[in-house]
Amino acid sequence: MSGQNREDLKVVNQARAKTDALSIMGGAPVYTGDLVPDGALVVKLKRSPHAFARIVSIDKSRAELVPGVAGVFTWRDVPHHRHTFAGASYPGNNPFDRVILDEYVRYVGDPVAIVAAESEEAAEKALKLVKVEYEVLEPVLDFETAEQSASAVHPEDDYVYQTDIGGDLAHNVLMSERDEDGDFEAVYASCPVRLDETWYTPATQQAMMETFRTFSYYDHAGRLTLVSSTQITFHARRLVAMALGLPQSKVRVVKPRVGGGFGAKQSMVTEVYAAAVTYLTGKPAYIQFTRQESCACANTRHAFRIRVRLGATEDGIVRALWVDSLENAGAYGEHAANVIGLSGHKTLPLYGKAEAWRYTGKAVYTNTTPGGAYRGFGATQGCFAVESTVNKLAAQLGLDPCELRLRNLPEVGKPMPAYYDEPLTSCSLDRCIETGRRMTGWDEKYRSAPFARQVGPHRYRGLGMAVTMQGSGISNVDNCTARIRLDDGGFYTLSIGASDIGTGCDTILAQMAAEVLECDIDRIVVNGVDTSYSPYDKGSYASSTTYVTGNATVMAAKELLGKMRKVAAERMGVAEGDLEFDGDEFTCGERKLTLTELGVESVNGHADWLTAAASFAGHTSPPPFVAGFAEVEVDTETGEVEVVDLVGVVDCGTVVNRALAQVQAEGGFLQGYGMALTEDVQTLPGGKLATNSFMQYKIPSRLDAPPIRIAFEESWEPTGPFGAKSIGEVVINTPSPAIAAAIRNAVGAEIHALPATAEKVYGALRAQGADSHV
Amino acid sequence: MTLNFALNGRKLSREIAPDETLLQLLRDCGMHSVRSGCDTSNCGICTVWVDGKPVLSCGYLAARVEGRAVTTLEGVKDEAEALMRCLAAEGADQCGYCSPGFLMCALAMFRELENPGDAEMRAYLAGNLCRCTGYASQMRALAKYAEGRRSK
């Protein structure tokens, strides 16, 4: 096998088209909605119009009389077992705060009844005829005052904490935590430069193009089988079984092609409703969320308030850093307990010279749409807050922000105290900063004072930057397995439990196996995911597939190659050490054995079937890094911000697939751009989510998209497959702080709450009295 | 009501409800390339052609295609293949869910415009949203495809 040098790689580190490209683009029936069995009941949900209420009574008698209605189910009709929607390894932190339907509704849109009918029309008609009497309760709508509210969002007495996470439900506190090293107060007090800044990041939508959907039926073995658009195939099996009170052996989950997820599908959303209908009626059932439901009744990025206290020397060395995060969990705690920690643990380590650091976090329940996982998972929110504070430090000290970052970088080989003491084993962030500086023409263009680069009447340019890190899987928790076999036609079948949701993991894992097996990816069929047949994988989230499943894939492929060599040597009557293998045949002098012959051999009683499986569980989570840069032009007359250049330089270790990594980065940067400038989940006074379509919730179109330029500065991660680390999430983090910094650099306006809309920039300009420039 | 129309060159007669959308009808006809994205005619995913012009089938009543010709990606597979390969080479498919609608709009553009430049293409395709790619790879693929057409 080639392998420990990037120059030797033949398949990995190249651009390859996705193995499913032509089928998914060409309209093959491969997504959940294409595979629904004929006659499946149409499932719709009756939803609460109130943010917080107790259900007094439900009259479903008229709804049940609608021709074609197969069932109307309320909280009295469905199994009642506390569970969570959050897909995360078990046991874990996420409290069991959900039942399928409850006596209480906790946000506008919370399901009240499940309707199943033979047609969409019948289901819609029945929905309208379900009459619900509510006792309306005072909702908790403001997360900053949730603790003082007279209402408790989760008053139920059968709420289950898996473990003590510092909650206080009477005061709507889902969890609270603290982690620190050093004497923060003393070091902070001794610093000549101190900043104490508070920042806000709003809820945002993942907005994947395929909305949530699941169908269910009983399979040949009597298992409740779900075909679902999910990132968490195995967790969904456990959680559906839990919600219905079934043994896991009676539930099966299948993931077909998925039309995007970005974390939204790391939680269950539609699964339990289809499952409940099939469980209660015995019939196949299908539920597909509308876009409106996907926006208002699923999960969003958690809104955060983050206070950062930073103490530094006058030459910009950060000596004390405290990230204090308050997170709006929304009505249910999907991932809230895990998201919040990343706001500290994936920001603090970048300031590796700090003598004291502290992270404190608290998540509170409110009667709003639940938060959930979204690419970046807390690191994104923390990155905006910490990097904005550091950019302010640079501005205050008159230091170049690139230079300031370079002075503070963590060192390879040393442990990162705020990152669970994991050692930093690869990092080219210094090169990323230098390259980005070159690409943007930073040294020629950058002026530390605002209003220094006027380019037209009322128009000023500015530059900003930020750095970030993420992880590669969750250390000591994530477990991923790959199984590979040689088939008798002389090809390989690679089975994985990781969910390709458009990321291309089926392709990059095939590249890794192909690199080991000296072939190209057309000789490898990748199968995933069916909990019946696939090896266990915790699912596709936490930037884990390339690193964790990738390591498992390489281990399995190497083991298979070893077995193949052994059988080939026996069959050829030669010593194993004398064998050559070119991917097509084993040779030893004049003797030959083709791969097809070996495959046939392995199923004809001469040898064991050639198969190998390997599991990998990382003891570290090597961080990928990005240095992100933005150049903006601000119109002081309107406050409008135009991003004229967005540059990202990425250290993801070895780039496994040059085309797919590039697109991951470009797509992540544009999502980050949306978060910086337009994307904002807004709630009406009564708690109803207002931005519930693409008309109100503005994701960037190709006309909005700024020029995005991506470069890679590869490092070599010694624990990674062929030196690789993750890329999926880290690419979303830098645009918002870099753009905010560029706005400040252009016109001095300081944006403390995203998105940086024209109104906010204009208001900030007015507030700072910059009228002479307007 | 009875609807008579041509789907990908084949004459069809179907019973439809007056409020049925073209999207529903086409999916019922087994056209899996026609997918819903937003339900509000904002995202472009459900784009098909009526008499050769792109329309958003989620906001278009099926009854309107009476006597007209409807084309989905299934009907222009051969024409689409070269562009699909350009997209695949750039990794511009990603989740692939928005690709058929994008392809239908892009192919209509290349039928309509002789030699579109980047700005022209962005404007023509502005209504085709994609959350995965950030559009840059799609634009690179379009440029390569356009170059291939020119050199033919």
Site from A22, A702, A734 to mutate, B interface, most B CB atoms within 10 angstroms: A702
Instruction: Kindly state the average pLDDT of the residues A17-37.
Output: 98
Check if CATH label 2.60.40.10 holds for domain A207-296: no
Of A292, A659, A670, which has the smallest distance from its Cβ to B91's Cβ? A659
Q: How confident is the model at residue A1 (pLDDT cuts 50, 70, 90)?
A: very low
Last residue of a domain, which of B74, B106, B126? Answer: B74
Residue type, A36: V
**Residue A391's closest CA among A751, A715, A55?**
A751
Is residue B89 domain-shared with residue B60, that is, in the same domain?
no
Q: Give the CATH number of the domain where residue B109 resides.
A: 1.10.150.120
From B74, B92, B122, give the residue that closes a domain: B74
Residue A772: the pLDDT is: 63
Average pLDDT, chain B: 97
Nearest-CA distance A24 → chain B (Å): 5
Task: Report the relative pairing of strands A53-59 and A104-105 from DSSP bridges.
Answer: antiparallel
| Cβ neighbours around A638 below 10 Å, total | 13
Are B41 and B59 found together in one domain?
yes
CATH number assigned to the domain covering A398-411+425-472+622-767 = 3.30.365.10
Domains A6-28+475-616 and A207-296 share a fold: yes
Kindly tell me if the per-residue pLDDT of B89 is higher than 50: yes
**Contact assessment for residue B141 and residue B107, using Cβ atoms and an 8 Å cutoff:** no
Q: What are the angstrom distances between the C-alpha of B84 and each of A25, A30, B95?
A: 7, 17, 14
Mean pLDDT on A631-659: 98
Q: At residue B96, does pLDDT exceed 90? A: yes
Which helix (H) or strand (E) segment is A726 a member of? none
CA distance A750 to A768: 9
Would you say A115 and A29 are in contact if contact means Cβ atoms under 8 Å apart? Answer: no
What confidence tens digit (pLDDT) does each residue in A190-249 have?
Answer: 999 999 999 999 999 999 999 999 999 999 999 999 999 999 999 999 999 999 999 999
pLDDT reported for residue A605: 78
A106 — pLDDT class (breaks 50, 70, 90): very high
| Smallest Cα distance from B74 to chain A, Å | 7
Count structural domains, chain B.
2
What mean pLDDT is predicted for residues A557-585?
96
Any A CB within 8 A of B16 CB: no
pLDDT of A300 reads 98
The boundaries of the domain holding residue B112 are 76-150
pLDDT confidence of residue A611: 96
**Statement: residue A104 has pLDDT above 80:** yes
Whole-number pLDDT of residue A2: 41
| Long-range Cβ contact pairs of A701-705 (< 8 A, separation 24 or more) | A701/B126, A701/B127, A701/B129, A702/B122, A702/B125, A702/B126, A702/B128, A702/B130, A702/B135, A702/B138, A702/B139, A703/B122, A703/B123, A703/B126, A704/A678, A705/A670, A705/A673, A705/B134, A705/B135, A705/B136
State the DSSP string of A465-513: EEEEE--SS-TTT--EEEEEEE-TTS-EEEEE-S--SSS-HHHHHHHHH
What is the band of A601 on the pLDDT scale with cuts at 50, 70, 90? confident
> 3-class SS at B55?
strand
Does pLDDT of A350 surpass 50?
yes
Domain shared by B52 and B36, yes or no:
yes
Contact B136 A208 (CB under 8 A): no
Q: B31 to chain A: nearest residue by CA?
A: A27
pLDDT score recorded for residue A235: 98
ipTM above 0.95 for this complex: yes
How would residue B151 be classed by pLDDT, with cut points 50, 70 and 90?
confident
Does residue B100 share a domain with residue B55?
Answer: no
Return the pLDDT at A455: 98
Assess B71–A contact: CB distance below 8 Å, yes or no: no
Average pLDDT, rounded, for chain A: 97
Distance from CA of A700 to the nearest CA of B (A): 8
Q: Are residues B120 and B90 in the same domain?
A: yes
B132 shares its domain with B146: yes
Distance of CA A684 to the CA centre of its chain: 27
Distance from CA of B40 to the nearest CA of A (A): 8
CATH number for the domain that contains residue B43: 3.10.20.30
* Residues B65 and B99 grouped into a single domain: no
Question: What is d(CA A527, CA A533) in angstroms, rounded to the nearest whole number?
Answer: 9
Domain limits of chain A?
6-28+475-616, 207-296, 398-411+425-472+622-767
| pLDDT band (50, 70, 90) for residue A4 | confident
**CB atoms B88 and A22 under 8 Å:** yes
CATH of domain A6-28+475-616: 3.30.365.10
pLDDT exceeds 80 at position B103: yes
Out of A268-272, A287-291, A603-607, B77-81, least confident range: A603-607
Q: Are residues B61 and B84 in the same domain?
A: no
d(CA A492, CA A599): 9
Query: A691-746, pLDDT tens digit by residue?
Result: 999 999 999 999 999 999 999 999 999 999 999 999 999 999 999 999 999 999 99
Distance of alpha carbon A274 from alpha carbon A586, whole angstroms: 51
Does the pLDDT at position A773 exceed 70?
no
Q: Determine the pLDDT at residue A770.
A: 63
